[in-house]
Amino acid sequence: MIEFTQFLFPDGRKKVVSIELDIPIEDKFYDLTESGFRFEIENNRGEIWATCIRQDHEHVDVLGKNGEHVPVLIQKLICNSWEKYIWKEM
């Protein structure tokens, strides 16, 4: 199980949310967090903006609709971030 910080609109309240993904994806998530990346989700009126960020110039974003497709978006975010920042360093 992995955790994200979720920001809720309209007031920007923070909430920790968790999601369970396949082990290889969770392993990539932990590779990223151990390298200093953090994961955030903004939920704005049914639209999701998920970000993996370490510094201003080191980030990957995905956008999509809130609902049953969120795990697919999160998996895409993790895999794209891992390939961009971890795999290239190996």
Q: What's 7's domain CATH number?
A: 3.30.160
In which domain, by residue range, is 8 found?
2-89
Structure tokens at 82: 């891992």
The pLDDT of 53-70, averaged and rounded, is 93
Q: Where are the alpha helices (DSSP H) in 1-90?
A: 23-34, 70-81
For 70-88, the pLDDT digits (tens) are 999 999 999 999 999 998 7
Q: How many domains does the chain have?
A: 1
Structure tokens at 63: 């956008």
Distances (CA, A) of 60 to 10, 13, 35: 24, 22, 15
Structure tokens at 39: 């994961």
pTM of the predicted model, to two decimals?
0.91
